[in-house]
């Protein structure tokens, strides 16, 4: 019997900011119900993918991102460190795999990697792949040909967040523009690497800005395979250290809107989990989050301990993806 040709996925719809705002404005129960319907149509509702993020080069970044503890322009307690050795990275990845992580992400505080740095990172990617894990890196802005080098090393995902909507971007970052980020994302796509791209909420932005960010992400062609939704961790010494706290239900609404607008993407509950109660995290999973960062550190910020996450998964009946 001849094989039945699989129909290609329909082109993702284009979202207007006003449409995402209308989702945000739904009664909370109605929004969660709709997000659950979308989530269950594309994923196992009780499976969560777990990633571990390691800072392979900490501090001393030349950029002025207002949320970041690693900027050389901010007076934080983060010390500048050199690139970790291959042996240190392999040891950390091995430990992450033993704790249940399926993807290992490596972050470096650079505006962008120099060629000698990229060669070392490529060796790290190959070594982590040899452990049977998916690989992801976030290295800043890429130059011509660098994405292809990472692809040749076996890289699965490249993370480069939009951070916020275009109209709010200059209030957070002035050392580069959002178009620079799209330029790197285009290089990543052209090299055949999966895109990990999301944003940060709780930086003092309006609901409309949050809606515009979700629309901007959803309208990428194609949308990112992985969408990290970060809650600002207000770090002393950064320009955003005194940002007003975001209503927790507004954060859950952001997760739900991302799930509805990007039904086939992994929506990751990322930075800020250390400050979240178990109940708030459970609402985020209910809203469609199906990926987390797993481990005790998230670059320089604390993250819930792996043992605590195991207990939370057991209480909620969740399983690793």
Helix, strand, coil: what percent of the chain each, to 5? Answer: 40, 15, 45
Does residue 284 have an active-site annotation?
A: no
Give the active site residue among 50, 68, 253, 273: 68
44: DSSP letter: -
Does residue 177 have an active-site annotation?
A: no
Give the active site residue among 34, 103, 196, 257: 196
Give the active site residue among 65, 197, 257, 284: 65
Distance CA 248, CA 256 (A): 13
Does residue 268 have an active-site annotation?
A: yes
- What's the farthest any 2 CA atoms get from each other in the chain? 68
CB 193 within 8 A of CB 125: no
Helix extents (H) in the chain: 17-24, 28-42, 86-98, 115-130, 146-153, 166-169, 178-190, 207-218, 248-261, 278-286, 306-316
Give the active site residue among 34, 50, 103, 136: 136
CB 135 within 8 A of CB 154: yes
Distance CA 69, CA 233 (A): 10
CB 141 within 8 A of CB 184: yes
Q: Strand pairing partners for 201? A: 231
Give the active site residue among 34, 50, 61, 273: 61
Task: State yes or no: cis peptide before 133, omega within 30 of 0.
Answer: no
Distance CA 237, CA 75 (A): 5
CB 96 within 8 A of CB 294: yes
> Which residues contact residue 26 at a Cβ distance below 8 angstroms, ignoring those fewer than 6 apart?
34
Does residue 257 have an active-site annotation?
A: no
3-state secondary structure 79-101: CCCCCCCHHHHHHHHHHHHHCCC
Q: Report strand pairing: 134-138 vs 194-196.
A: unpaired
Distance CA 148, CA 223 (A): 20
Does residue 136 have an active-site annotation?
A: yes
Closest by CA to 289, choosing from 24, 30, 12, 32, is: 32
Q: Which residues are catalytically annotated?
A: 61, 65, 68, 105, 136, 196, 268
């Amino acid at each position: 019997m001849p094989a039945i040709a699989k129909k290609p996925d329909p082109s993702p719809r284009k979202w207007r900011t006003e449409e995402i705002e209308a989702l945000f404005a739904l009664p909370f129960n109605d929004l969660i119900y709709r997000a659950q319907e979308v989530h269950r149509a594309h994923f196992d509702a009780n499976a969560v993918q777990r990633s571990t993020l390691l800072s392979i080069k900490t501090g001393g970044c030349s950029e002025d991102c207002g949320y970041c503890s690693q900027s050389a322009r901010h007076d934080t307690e983060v010390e500048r460190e050199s690139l970790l050795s291959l042996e240190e990275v392999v040891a950390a990845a091995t430990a992450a795999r033993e704790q249940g992580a399926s993807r290992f992400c490596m972050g470096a505080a650079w505006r962008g990697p120099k060629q000698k740095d990229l060669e070392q990172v490529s060796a790290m990617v190959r070594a982590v792949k040899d452990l049977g894990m998916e690989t992801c890196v976030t290295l800043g802005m890429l130059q011509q040909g660098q994405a292809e080098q990472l692809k040749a090393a076996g890289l699965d995902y490249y993370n480069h967040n939009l951070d916020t909507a275009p109209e709010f971007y200059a209030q957070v970052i002035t050392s580069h523009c959002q178009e620079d980020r799209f330029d790197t994302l285009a290089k990543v796509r052209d090299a055949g690497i999966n895109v990990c791209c999301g944003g940060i909420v709780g930086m003092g932005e309006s609901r409309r800005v949050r809606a515009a960010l979700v629309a901007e992400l959803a309208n990428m062609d194609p949308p990112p395979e992985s969408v990290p939704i970060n809650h600002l961790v207000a770090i002393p010494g950064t320009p955003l250290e005194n940002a007003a706290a975001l209503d927790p239900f507004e954060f859950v609404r952001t997760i739900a809107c991302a799930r509805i607008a990007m039904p086939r993407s992994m929506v990751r509950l990322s930075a800020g989990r250390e400050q979240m109660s178990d109940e708030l995290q459970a609402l985020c999973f209910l809203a469609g989050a199906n990926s987390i960062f797993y481990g005790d550190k998230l670059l320089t910020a604390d993250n819930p301990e792996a043992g605590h996450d195991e207990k939370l998964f057991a209480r909620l009946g969740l399983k690793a993806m």
